[in-house]
Amino acid sequence: MSKTINININKLQKKYDNAVKNKIDVFIYDGNEILTSYAKYLLEYLKISKTRDFSLVSEGRRGQGYDYGEFEDENE
């Protein structure tokens, strides 16, 4: 049985940052245990995917408070 988790990048980032700061290996997000090491890669993936979905416009330029820089599209 698979379970869908809705992810708020800002909320996940805060939970991840807190876990790293406090040297916690596992934290709770939306009622689910998340490995801190997995969250790192999940956040990277989500940020890159979201940036690519919006024509290479970074989060900060859309007012979300993050600026991840520019990403080159391999297909261009």
Q: Where are the domains of the chain?
A: 20-61
Closest CA to 29 of 7, 46, 47, 50: 7
Q: What is the pLDDT of residue 60?
A: 47
- Rounded Cα gap, residues 26 and 34, in angstroms: 6
13-70 confidence digits (pLDDT tens): 999 999 999 999 999 998 999 999 999 999 999 888 876 654 444 444 444 444 444 4
Element (H, E) at 14: helix 9-21
Start-to-end CA distance of the chain, whole Å, equals 39
* pTM (whole model) above 0.85: no
Question: What distances in angstroms separate CA 1 from CA 4, 7, 31, 32, one per listed residue?
Answer: 10, 19, 16, 15
